[in-house]
């Protein structure tokens, strides 16, 4: 050592301290620690060289070396702490949440108008003791037609052209929920009081009133001594509850293969009270649904004795009722998934 070791230690100390105190990041600090305090560092070198010094200066140099070592070690720890705090502060700032910022609004979804009116209709009939039954949408022509008194040559089949499967003409998408009448009567014996909501299909061109997919709700009541008067009373009660006010109705003779007699239920137009308006096409009346007394042939087909039991049945189009109730003029709105439409309900 050419220089005086104490002077050298002093300059190592002051240089080291200022370098450590200004180290920009933990990488730089670690490099400084190794340079001054490491196994191959400057202080270690001095300690190793102690033996070569004069005996009388040795203790002072040793003591000074240790002092410098302690001072630098403390400085490193100090700097480490302040670098950590600074980076923590920065992270907290970057990740800070502004609790005064306005929140993100979560839009609540809601029930589709068809689901809504279906639930309303079920509720009304539930109150009159009807239970919900379900049936398959992919059907055989037996349940869709034959068992409903509509054999292959029957002209009523033409009105309900539907979609057929690869399995041939015998397997089809049901064109009416009346199929469920048969399926239920096969399984259960009277007294029966059921309604059955569900999808039906027809091979039809799309327009404002027709869509190849729509929904129906079927009703069936079979018991001893059921009359047409009870059918009228039941449906009148239903219509009044659905529209929420007294509504004049009329039963017009009609034809369905599986009911005899058959009728179409009209209500006085609830929008114009029979005066004639756009909704009712100036007729003052609206066709609501088909109904009738279950044909004895149908009962016989499922093993129910028509001499003992009678019944009534009805079937309504859900879209049609929803269009009337909510004043919707195009069936396509139900299936277009347009939120501007759906949010109105």
Interface positions with ligand DAH (CB under 6 A): 176, 178, 218, 256, 259, 290-292, 313-315
Q: How many CA atoms lie within 13 A of 299 on its CB side?
A: 25
CA 93, 99, 101, 104 dihedral sign is: positive
Query: CB of residue 315 vs ligand DAH: minimum separation in angstroms?
Result: 2
Nearer to ligand DAH, 76 or 316 (CB): 316
Nearer to ligand DAH, 37 or 291 (CB): 291
Nearest 10 degrees: Cα torsion 266, 271, 272, 274: 10
Nearer to ligand DAH, 54 or 159 (CB): 159
Q: What angle do CA 321, 324, 330 make, to 5 degrees?
A: 95
Query: CB of residue 200 vs ligand DAH: minimum separation in angstroms?
Result: 7
Query: CB of residue 279 vs ligand DAH: minimum separation in angstroms?
Result: 21
Query: CB of residue 176 vs ligand DAH: minimum separation in angstroms?
Result: 4
Nearer to ligand DAH, 198 or 290 (CB): 290
Cis amide bond preceding 261, omega within 30: yes
**Which residue's Cβ lies closest to ligand DAH?**
315
Backbone angles phi, psi at 105, to 5 degrees: -75, 130
Q: What angle do CA 179, 182, 184 make, to 5 degrees?
A: 105
Query: CB of residue 251 vs ligand DAH: minimum separation in angstroms?
Result: 12
DSSP characters for 96-112? ---TTSPPPPPPPP---
Query: CB of residue 254 vs ligand DAH: minimum separation in angstroms?
Result: 8
Alpha-carbon distance of 319 to 121, in angstroms, equals 12
Alpha-carbon distance of 300 to 74, in angstroms, equals 103
Nearer to ligand DAH, 118 or 259 (CB): 259
Nearer to ligand DAH, 251 or 256 (CB): 256
Query: CB of residue 288 vs ligand DAH: minimum separation in angstroms?
Result: 11
Nearer to ligand DAH, 73 or 236 (CB): 236
Query: CB of residue 177 vs ligand DAH: minimum separation in angstroms?
Result: 7
Q: Which residues contact 323 (CB under 8 A, 6 or more apart)?
A: 329, 331
Nearer to ligand DAH, 19 or 148 (CB): 148
Residue 338's SS3 state is coil
In this structure, are residues 320 and 264 in contact, taking their beta carbons and an 8 Å threshold? no
Nearer to ligand DAH, 17 or 291 (CB): 291
Query: CB of residue 340 vs ligand DAH: minimum separation in angstroms?
Result: 31
Summarize the chain as % helix, strand, coil (round to 5). 45, 20, 35
Beta strands in the chain (DSSP E): 131-132, 138-140, 164-165, 168-173, 192-201, 213-224, 249-256, 259-268, 285-294, 309-317
Structural tokens at position 340: 């501007």
Alpha-carbon distance of 123 to 117, in angstroms, equals 10
């Amino acid at each position: 050592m050419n220089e005086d070791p104490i002077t050298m230690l002093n300059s190592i100390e002051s240089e080291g301290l200022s370098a450590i105190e200004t180290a920009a990041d933990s990488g730089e600090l670690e490099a400084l620690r190794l340079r001054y305090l490491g196994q191959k560092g400057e202080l270690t070198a001095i300690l190793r060289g102690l033996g070569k010094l004069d005996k009388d200066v040795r203790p002072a140099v040793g003591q000074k070396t240790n002092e410098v070592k302690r001072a630098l070690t403390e400085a490193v720890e100090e700097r480490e702490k302040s670098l950590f705090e600074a980076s923590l502060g920065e992270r907290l700032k970057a990740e800070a949440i502004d609790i005064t910022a306005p929140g993100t609004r979560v839009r609540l979804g809601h029930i589709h108008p068809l689901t809504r009116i279906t639930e309303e209709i079920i509720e009304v009939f539930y109150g009159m003791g009807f239970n919900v039954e379900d049936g398959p949408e992919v059907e055989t022509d037996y349940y869709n037609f034959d068992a409903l008194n509509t054999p292959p040559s029957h002209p009523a089949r033409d009105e309900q052209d539907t979609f057929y499967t690869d399995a041939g003409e015998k397997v089809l998408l049901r064109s009416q929920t009346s199929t469920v009448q048969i399926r239920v009567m096969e399984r259960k014996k009277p007294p029966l009081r059921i309604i059955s909501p569900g999808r039906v299909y027809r091979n039809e061109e799309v327009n404002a009133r027709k869509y190849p997919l729509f929904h129906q709700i079927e009703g069936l009541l079979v018991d001893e001594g059921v009359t047409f008067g009870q059918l009228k009373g039941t449906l009148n009660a239903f219509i009044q509850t659905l529209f929420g006010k007294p509504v004049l109705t009329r039963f017009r003779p009609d034809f369905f293969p599986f009911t005899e007699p058959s009728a179409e239920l009209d209500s006085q137009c609830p929008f114009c009270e029979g005066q004639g308006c756009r909704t009712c096409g100036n007729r003052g009346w609206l066709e609501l649904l088909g109904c009738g007394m279950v044909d004895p042939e149908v009962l016989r087909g499922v093993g129910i004795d028509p001499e003992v039991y009678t019944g009534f049945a009805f079937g309504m189009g859900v879209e049609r009722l929803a269009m009337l109730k909510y004043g919707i003029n195009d069936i396509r709105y139900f299936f277009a998934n347009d939120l501007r439409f759906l949010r109105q309900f």
